A and B are shown apart, each in its own frame.
Chain A
Amino acid sequence: MSSDYEFSDDDNEFFDDEDMFDATQDDGSSDEMDMDADGDDFKITPKNKRKSYEIEYHSLSQSEVEKQMREEVNYICNILGVEPSTASLLLRSMSWNRERLIEKYMDNPSTVLTAAGITLPEPPSSPLQNPIRTHAASGSSSSSTVRRTTRSASKLLGLGSSSKSSPTTRTSPIVQHTTPKYTKFTTKPDEPFVCPICFDDAPNLVTLSLDCGQTFCINCWNMYIVSKIRDEGEIAIRCMAEGCQLIAPDPFIHDVLFPTPPADASAMSVNPQDNAQAWSRFQELLARHFVGSKKDLKYCPYPGCTNTVSCPAGASKFSLTTVVPTVFCGARGIPGQENSDSSLGLGGREHKFCFGCAVEDDHRPVVCSVAKMWLRKCRDDSETANWIKSNTKECSNCQSTIEKNGGCNHMTCKKCKHEFCWVCMGPWSEHGTAWYTCNRYDEKAGVEARDAQSRSRASLERYLHYYNRWANHEQSAKLSRDLYAKTEKKMEDMQITSSLTWIEVQFMKKAVEEVEKCRMTLKWTYAMAYYLARGNEKDLFEDNQRDLEKAVEDLSELLESPIEAEVIPSLRQKVTDKAVYVQKRNEIVLEDTANGFLEGRWRWNVTVEGFDEPDKSELVL
């Protein structure tokens, strides 16, 4: 049913990497880049074709999401023959699963309506006589002692405070109906209405109640609804009466927030601006709830962004073992939509995130589950591992990890009582009486002990090898951004003092962006390589990784070279050439890895969710 919005066919793929890139450029320099690229040896992928490491998706603005919601609501209205506001509450209570809703509703409409907070529960066998019973009936699910005592106490209160207002609040305790109609109770002239919350008894007080008939003044409703929406982010706003399970339908909320005729501003406790804000926040919360309920939709995680991404290809658990669904929410503007204005763009940077996980916004080329596993390992292990590596040794007999925090080199293992020398790791018995020095470094037993130790250290070393490179690329990416900020300043100064044009001093920008992007790729290739099982596939992967790393380091170095006006033309040529080369290398790594996932070519040395169990010989502990 979302086919109306399908525009991600090959001809106009909007979030192709190339396009993204060009959007940051002025036309002149990017054209030149492309010309340079044409001269390159590498085959150039046609621009608008989706690459294997890119996923098909499209971005939706909030209004488009709301349109989808309305369509779902209308669908339910037509099938179940209910009002839109009822249909909406029903869908929300079923997490927008319309098939389940229809099935359950056909089965037992009153249960579904009660669970959705639309109607009151069926009255127990005997007719209700006073409002207190209603509370007891609706609180049937309470289990803990606190809750139980809470309820019983509130009954006592109910008697106290409702004694004055019950004649007006309780006209018809239970009304059987399927469409929520809220009633505006007018005060009877002989029994002046007193709002049980604020005790206001002004004669012209506007009062409202949901279908339960428990009436409160509009000011209290207003403050309550605004506080629920603004402070608690709540969309299911229950009746203010204690224990009442009815939920205020949208038209009720709208009428409270935008009263007709407009309320006298001086009499309102909440100003109209807050009301309007609460209403728009409410709409946003509804859209978020809808998006959160749908597997193929995700809300942009960037603060303040209200866009949504629809990515059916990245929605299933299985698909996450074959693709890395990196998406952009379209914060720079969703093409073809009228509200793709600048108000969405935050500082001109696109909102990139992974549709499959919250690990990191772009962890290509490695799939979500492996990225997650790696980060968990890093969080758990890195600091500890580093500390262990630099501060401890293992007992050469029982391999217990030992920290030497003082004393001489004659160690006695606390666990196995083995006596050894901290310096050479050989048994102490060979040391004779040389108590405080070790001159026996090459003794056979000592060499053997050190061998055993190095084997047990190997896995730690292996991990640190990958971790340090992983962390290094992240750090370098940061540094290159800082460097660029400085360079940019210098170049702009130069533009003023020399004859260079603006376009001519912009070539660094693309190069820095490219370096940053490639470092992110490199970073994650180390996470991937750590888990890849040994073999030809891994060798090829590491070859590609090495080529990219070499190219990136070369370009990085070039970016750090001193900039003087006279060397700019030659520097520019070099940087531009290198940047294109780096871009191609990056594409090769991404594409080859993505294809590998699609072909099921990668084998792991640990168990990875969704993949085949690794061969026993490939397991690394």
Chain B
Amino acid sequence: MASISVRRLSKELSEIKSEGCPTGINLVKADDFEIWWFTIEVMGDSIYKEEIFTLQFRFDSGYPISAPAVQFVITDGKQAPIHPHIYSNGHICASILGNEWSPVLGVTSVCLTIQSMLASNKSILQRPTDNDRYVQHAPSNPKKV
């Protein structure tokens, strides 16, 4: 009975469709219950002003007990934001995607977290210090790190 993830995701999807996403976040595709794409934009005065990033969610049957695999899309000319906690391969270093994940969190809350993570960066346009080393060895799924 893997349907808990399906049931939960369909509920989240219908909520997004009826109530809409928070400002600056838009659903790109959610054709199945495995991969969803969102665009994310920082509103107001920000060093990421007028930049639109694409965020990818990957869900497995363990969702929402375990965290989804979340990363920025870097194909087809898309770029990951330059931020001290975001690697150039799109992987994101955020506690709620790892050991501070809680099953009450959901897709929109993760989007909001990442949006506010970008918004709170006022000046440092830099990759993480270990970016090159990490990107060289990182698995394709950020949860497997």
Name B75-124 residues within 8 Å CB distance of A.
85, 93-96, 100, 102-106, 108-109, 112-113, 115-117, 120-121
Q: Contacts A150-B94, A197-B64, A227-B62: A220 and B85 contacting too (C-beta < 8 A)?
A: no
Nearest CB on A from B38, distance (A): 14
Within 8 A of A (CB), among B118-135: 120-121
- A154 and B120 in contact (CB under 8 A), knowing A147-B95, A223-B4? no
- A223 and B104 within 8 A (CB): no
What is the CB-to-nearest-CB distance from A130 to chain B, in angstroms, rounded to a whole number? 15
Assuming A156-B109, A157-B106, A200-B7, is B66 touching A227 (CB within 8 A)?
Answer: yes
- Cβ-based interface call for A321 (8 A): no
Interface contact tally, CB-CB below 8 A: 91
- Per-position 1/0 for B31-58, Cβ under 8 A of A: 0000000000000000000000000000
Q: Which residue of B lies closest to A197 (CB)?
A: B103
- Please tell me if A433 contacts chain B, counting CB pairs below 8 Å: no
Q: Do residues A242 and B116 form an inter-chain contact, with CB atoms below 8 A?
A: no
Q: Are B7 and A242 in contact (CB under 8 A)?
A: no
B29 within 8 A of A: no
Q: Are A199 and B7 in contact (CB under 8 A)?
A: yes
One digit per residue, 1 when the CB lies within 8 angstroms of any chain A CB and 0 when it does not, for chain B 1-29 equals: 11010011001000000000010000000
User: What 18 additional pairs, Cβ within 8 angstroms, besides A145-B85, A216-B103, A224-B103?
Assistant: A145-B121, A146-B117, A149-B116, A149-B117, A150-B96, A150-B100, A153-B115, A154-B113, A156-B22, A156-B112, A157-B108, A157-B112, A197-B64, A197-B104, A220-B103, A224-B65, A242-B102, A269-B1
Name the CB-closest residue of A to B112.
A153
Look across to chain A and name the residue whose beta carbon is closest to the beta carbon of B94.
Answer: A146
- Nearest to B9 among chain A residues (CB) is A199
Give the contacting residue for A160; candidates B1, B4, B7, B109; CB below 8 A.
B109
Q: Mark A146-165, 1 if CB is under 8 A from B, else 0.
A: 11111011101100110000
**Complexed CA–CA distance, A356 and B101 (Å):** 38
> Chain B interface secondary structure, helix, strand, loop or mixed?
loop
Kindly list chain B residues whose C-beta atoms are within 8 Å of the C-beta of A150.
94-96, 100, 113, 117
Measured CA separation A149–B84 after assembly (Å): 14
Across the interface, do A161 and B62 meet the contact criterion of CB distance under 8 Å?
A: no
Q: Which of A154, A227, A241 has the most CB of B within 10 A?
A: A154
* CB interface residues, A 261-295, toward B, < 8 Å: 266, 268-269
* A198, CB-defined interface residue at 8 Å: yes
A149, A156, A157, A220: the one contacting B65 at CB < 8 Å is A220
A396 in the interface, Cβ–Cβ < 8 Å? no
Whole-angstrom CA separation of A242 from B120 in the bound complex: 21
**Cβ of B4 to closest chain A Cβ, rounded Å:** 5
Name the A residues within 8 Å of B1 (CB-CB): 266, 268-269
**Do A154 and B96 contact each other (CB < 8 Å), given the known contacts A161-B104, A242-B105?**
yes
Q: Are A153 and B64 touching (Cβ within 8 A)?
A: no
Which residues of A135-180 have CB atoms within 8 Å of chain B's CB atoms? 144-150, 152-154, 156-157, 160-161
Interface residues on A, range: 20 to 34
Contact of A154 with B65 in the complex, beta carbons under 8 Å: no
> What distance in Å separates the Cβ of A100 from its nearest Cβ neighbour in chain B?
27
Q: Is the pair A149, B105 in contact by a Cβ cutoff of 8 Å?
A: no
B96 / chain A contacts, CB cutoff of 8 Å: 150, 154, 242
Say how far B86's CB is from chain A's closest CB, in angstroms. Answer: 10
Of residues 230 to 256 in A, which have CB atoms within 8 Å of B's CB atoms?
231, 240-243
Cα separation A199 to B108 with both chains bound (whole Å): 16
CB distance from A270 to the nearest CB of B (A): 9
Shortest 7 CB-CB contacts between residues of A and residues of B: A157-B109, A242-B102, A153-B113, A199-B11, A153-B112, A149-B117, A197-B103
A278 to B42, CA, bound (A): 44
Which residues of chain A come closer than 8 Å to B112, judged between CB atoms? 153, 156-157
Q: Return chain B residues, CB-CB under 8 Å to A200.
A: 7
Contact check, A161 vs B100: say whether CB atoms are below 8 A apart: no
Name the distance in Å between B48's Cβ and chain A's nearest Cβ.
14
Binary flags per residue of A350-362, CB closer than 8 Å to B gives 1, else 0: 0000000000000
Q: Which residues of chain B have C-beta atoms less than 8 A from A310's C-beta? A: none
In the bound complex, do residue A153 and residue B116 qualify as a contact, i.e. CB atoms below 8 Å apart? yes
- 14 example contacts (A-B, Cβ-Cβ < 8 A) are as follows A145-B85, A145-B117, A147-B95, A148-B120, A149-B113, A150-B94, A150-B117, A157-B112, A197-B8, A199-B7, A199-B8, A231-B66, A242-B105, A269-B2
Cβ-based interface call for A219 (8 A): yes
The interface residues of chain A lying within 8 Å CB-to-CB of B105 are 154, 157, 242
Tell me whether A198 and B4 are in contact (CB under 8 A). yes
What A residues does B11 contact at CB under 8 A? 199
Least Cβ–Cβ distance between B2 and chain A, in angstroms: 8
By a CB distance below 8 angstroms, the chain A residues around B117 are 145-146, 149-150, 153
A150, A199, A242, A269: residue with the most chain B Cβ atoms closer than 10 Å = A150
A487-508: which residues lie under 8 A (CB-CB) from chain B? Answer: none
Nearest residue, chain A, Cβ from B107: A157
Shortest CB distance A139–B (Å): 10
The interface centre, meaning the residue of B65, B105, B108, B117 with most chain A CB atoms within 10 A of its CB, is B65
Nearest chain-A residue to B102 (Cβ)?
Answer: A242
Residues on A with beta carbons closer than 8 Å to the beta carbon of B120: 145, 148-149
Judge whether B108 and A160 touch: CB under 8 Å.
yes
Per the bound structure, the CA–CA distance linking A44 and B103 in Å amounts to 67
| Contacting pair B4 A240 (CB below 8 A) | no
A196 interfacial by beta-carbon distance below 8 Å: yes
Q: How far is the CA of A474 from the CA of B108 in the complex (A)?
A: 60
- Shortest distance in angstroms between A82's beta carbon and chain B's nearest beta carbon? 28
- Min CB gap B95→A, angstroms: 5
Given A145-B120, A154-B96, A198:B109 Cβ within 8 A: no
Collect the chain A residues with CB atoms within 8 Å of residue B108's CB. Answer: 157, 160
Closest to A154 in B: B109
Q: Which chain B residue shows the least CB distance to A228?
A: B65
Give Cα distance in the complex from A147 to B108, angstroms. Answer: 17
In the complex, what residues of B have CB within 8 A of residue A148's CB?
A: 120
A196 to B11, CA, bound (A): 11
* Distance in angstroms between the alpha carbons of A435 and B97 in the assembled complex: 70
**Which residues on the B side are within 8 Å of A157 (C-beta)?**
104-106, 108-109, 112
Q: How far is the CB of A332 from chain B (nearest CB, A)?
A: 39
